[in-house]
Structure formats: C-alpha cells, structure tokens
Amino acid sequence: MPGQFGGIQINGVEIGSTLIRAGPHGLEFLFEDIAFDRLFLSSQNLCVQSVNAGPQVLRTFLAAAPRLPLGFGFHSETSVAISSNCDSRADFVTVGGETNITINVQNTGNELRVRLTTAGGIPGSLDPKFSVRFDSESHVVIAVPKEDALGHFGITSSQVSVNNTSQVSGGNLTGDVAVALRDIFEFLTGNDFLGALSRDRTFTPNITPLPLDSINNAIDRSQFNGKPFKQSFNSANNTLRLDLGPEG
C-alpha cells in the first residue's frame, strides 16, 4: 500500500485478521479485531493529552532556568497551565517508501506561574510571584511497520517548541518589585533569570500516553505465527488498519 495514500488524517489504529468462511453466496471475508485504539490519534484526544502535559513542560522550564539569587528557590506551587485553546491533527504520510504517522498539536495562551521562596524568616505571603504567557507546538513522528515485513510501531522523533513568550509580569506586590529590580538580580547572579523564563525554547518530551505497547504486543503475536501484514485505510473510522492475513 505505500504510495497509495499519504497525508490522510487518521484517528487511530486497528489490527486484526481476515476470517474466511463459507457463506450462502460463496466465500465470505470478515475482519476480526485483535487489538485496536480507534481514537487515540483523534484531535480531541491529542488536545486532552497536551493539556495534561503541564508538569512535563514545567520541569523543562525549571531545568533551563539559570541560578536563582542567593536565598531564593522555586516554591512547590510553581506550575504550568496548558491552555485548552488547542488545534491538533494526526496524519498517515508516505515519503520515499517509508510510512509514518505525524502528530502536530498547537496550544495558545499557556501560562507559567512562578512562586519563589525567600530566606530569612520572610512570611510566605511576601513570596514573589511571576507569570509568563506562551504558546507551544508539539511534533511527534511514529514509524509504521512496512507491509510484508515484521516490525513495530515506534516513536522516531518528538519535539516541543515554546514560543511567543511574553515578558515576565509580577503576580503580587513583591513580584512587581522583583521584576523592577531584575537588573539587581542579574548583577548579583551574573544571569538574567527572569529574562530566561521568557525565552523561546525547544525540548524533547518523554512521550508516554500513546498506546503503542498494546499494538506492538498484537504484532508480536502475529510474528510468533510468522504472519506479516497488509495496510489499508478504514474510511468508516478514519483508522489505519493492519491485516495480519487470512485465517480459517
């Protein structure tokens, strides 16, 4: 099937075998499900997954942040809120005989909320608070096993870009003061840590929600029986169908 279609939007994957049986008008060919997830690539599901990725994006922000001024630290309330203003799409793409599923997700209007701890017995109510608005774009490529061969689905690349970041703005009075004194912070530490929080960045996420294990396990069962598969597109469900071969 490679070369027959490319760039077609898909919602999921289904794996099965074609059952051959005698019918009233001759042989009948029926597709029997072995494993499937027909919606994990749908736009709605991809957007839900992206909104839930806030903790992972936060870890990336904190890892990229330069040294804080002496006596300051990140409070546990520091968080990232990924916006539900989301646009996403998954496509089956064929290029040069290679077949892949490409996933693209865009979230606009996200927010990094920072609370800093202070030393010296200063009340927590005076902890400086900041916020940074930003957009994000995620791109994931999943390799699809070739027809008439034995193989697995696998993520070959994944990248998240943070862009359109706004300047840091104070979330309370002490936050406003700290933003106003950013030049002093930079003088003390040698780093503009407030400015670093508002820079565009790109990172490689740890993709875990995709249900590739169950799909690959079904392929392993077919490999045990020595059955390569055929690819087709099920337009009724907008799914990529892998047929492990006739049985019966």
Q: What's the pLDDT at 159?
A: 86
Query: For 27, which DSSP code?
Result: E
| Number of other CB atoms surrounding residue 229 within 10 Å | 24
- According to DSSP, the β-strands at 154-163 and 230-234 are unpaired
Q: Where are the domains of the chain?
A: 8-247
Query: Which pLDDT belongs to residue 233?
Result: 83
Mean pLDDT by groups of 10 residues along the chain of 248 residues: 59 78 69 74 91 85 72 86 94 84 93 81 73 87 79 84 75 55 48 63 65 76 62 85 66
Supply the pLDDT for residue 71: 77
For position 82, what pLDDT does the model report? 93
Looking at residue 194, what is its pLDDT? 61
Which pLDDT belongs to residue 40?
87
- Residue listed under structure tokens 């799914």: 239
CB-CB contact of 42 with 12 (8 Å): yes
198: nearest Cα among 128, 148, 130 = 130
> What's residue 246's pLDDT?
59
Kindly give, in sequence order, each residue whose CB lies less than 8 Å from that of residue 58, ignoring residues fewer than 6 positions away.
Answer: 78, 79, 80, 112
User: Are 113 and 171 within 8 A, CB to CB?
Assistant: yes
3-state secondary structure of 87: strand
The residue type at 11:
N
